[in-house]
Chains A and B, each alone.
Chain A
Amino acid sequence: MPDLTLTQQFTMIALNAQRSLEMTNAKKVALRCMAVAVILEVYLDSGFTQDKNKLVLKKDVLNHSHSIRYRETILQPLGHTIGDLSGWLKQASLLSKRKLIEFEHAISDTLKEMSLLEEIPHILGCDLYFHSAGVEIKGYRSHIQEYTIITEHIRAEILEDGTVTDETICMLWLLRESGCMHDFFSRNELEQVSARMYRLHQANPLGKALYRIRIHRGIELAIKQFLRMKKVAVKTPVGSGLNFLFPILERSQSVFIDTEAMFSNSTKRLHDVRMRLESMGHAVKVLGDGTIPIIKIDNTVYEAIPYATYGRVPIHGVRLLPIHPS
């Protein structure tokens, strides 16, 4: 197992399941935070010197950044002196869309070379309407085992008593700023995490410097959170989510897979769904069967809820709803 840098680790979390060819709102939020992770990585590696209340980037870091291309794409446009840590982080988060795309290619290429990231057909492409229309959508998939190790390591460090490493302190802040906390911690755990972050803010120098800084853009994060909120707004006996009522609002969160037989039993239905997903290159693992099976597709766990759409003829199938934390 390779030792990954902070940026590489966060990228594996942030880019997983994002669409690779289009710039979606969620990907923009992820890329801004990944760019900021580069600054934190250099900061942890003592790449800055303190000059009064300003942080100055060491010349050798900039000169040698070409050997780590993803660092170069962020550090080159920023220059040597910006301000304190907050100033550096904010500037990195404000890079133009063109720079962010350049950075995305640089960091994803690094991970692809290590076989830790790949581009596969996006799960949305399995949806009845996209699949039957022949629309091809590509998405990123992080190496499943490595993804689990990174996320479980963060959980272990923050939920256990004892020392928290600088990398985990940064990771938690990045997860907070990218609005990803709910993906990895349950509601009860979030209370523990919040208390722990407060203690780190009080007692740890890095926590004190970092946790007061906010770089997220309200509107972008609000859109992202709204799309998630509407999912829990409606609970029905067979599932939860406004997607049941208005699936068009965010199709990526609500994939409908049609099954071949009209009134399939649950085993046959699951088999059909599995076939469709696997034919599109997804890794499928059934965690629990029954009327509403729980299936892990790549790095996300879904409920496969029996569903039907009605047009001229009813089409039976399942609707996939993600479960968080996975």
Chain B
Amino acid sequence: MSRQRSMETILASEFVSIGELVRLTESRYSTLKFYTEEGMLSFEQAEENLTRKFKRQTTVARILLIKELKSNGLSIPQIKETLEMDK
């Protein structure tokens, strides 16, 4: 049995899944998938077909930064550039 983790457990975890990131950042799955595929969010994956794991604190901070940059009117290439400089 694999149960859904409570918010308290998620907030205490080092790694989270993309589904949990949806809950934490109130973002759409397709948006996060796009960011992941564009290399804007880094993840760890033990093997292919296994869950992609994201570092909770850094990933959430990055998603919030992307949201802020988007609301400031930056395009995706510009956001990617900013994130590269931020590394």
Contacts and interface: CB of A to CB of B under 8 A. Distances in A.
Contacts of A161: 48-52
Interface in A88-108: none
Interface in B5-34: 6-8, 17-19, 21-23, 26-30, 32-33
B82 to A, nearest CB: 25
Given A44-B3, A156-B18, A206-B1, A162 B49 contact: yes
A3 B22 contact: no
What secondary structure prevails in chain B residues at the interface with A?
loop
Interface in A132-170: 145, 148-149, 152-153, 155-157, 159-168
A153 B29 CA distance: 7
A1 interface: yes
Given A44-B3, A163-B2, A165-B3, A148 B50 contact: no
20 contacts: A1-B7, A1-B23, A2-B7, A3-B7, A44-B1, A145-B26, A152-B28, A153-B29, A155-B29, A156-B17, A156-B29, A157-B17, A159-B29, A160-B17, A160-B18, A160-B19, A160-B52, A164-B2, A167-B4, A168-B19
Interface of A: 1-3, 44, 145, 148-149, 152-153, 155-157, 159-168, 206
Nearest to A168: B4
Which of B2, B26, B33 has its CB near the most chain A CB atoms (within 10 A)?
B2
B19 A157 contact: yes
A152 B1 contact: no
B4 A166 contact: yes
A159 B30 CA distance: 10
A149 B51 contact: no
B60 to A, nearest CB: 14
Contact of A149 (B17, B22, B33): B22
Contacts of A148: 26, 28
B1 to A, nearest CB: 6
Closest 8 A-B residue pairs measured CB to CB?
A: A162-B51, A156-B19, A156-B29, A167-B4, A165-B4, A157-B19, A155-B29, A152-B22
Contact of B22 (A156, A165, A166): A156
Contacts of B1: 44, 166, 206
Contacts of B17: 156-157, 160, 162
Contacts of A153: 19, 22-23, 29
Nearest to B48: A161
B32 A156 contact: yes
B55 to A, nearest CB: 16
A149 B21 CA distance: 10
Contacts of B3: 44, 165-167
A44 B1 CA distance: 9
Interface in B43-87: 48-52
Contacts of A156: 17-19, 21-22, 29, 32
A260 to B, nearest CB: 34
B36 to A, nearest CB: 10
A161 B29 CA distance: 13
A165 B50 CA distance: 14
A162 B51 CA distance: 4
Contacts of B50: 161-162
Contacts of B30: 155
Contacts of A3: 6-8
Which of B18, B27, B48 has its CB near the most chain A CB atoms (within 10 A)?
B18
A84 B10 CA distance: 34
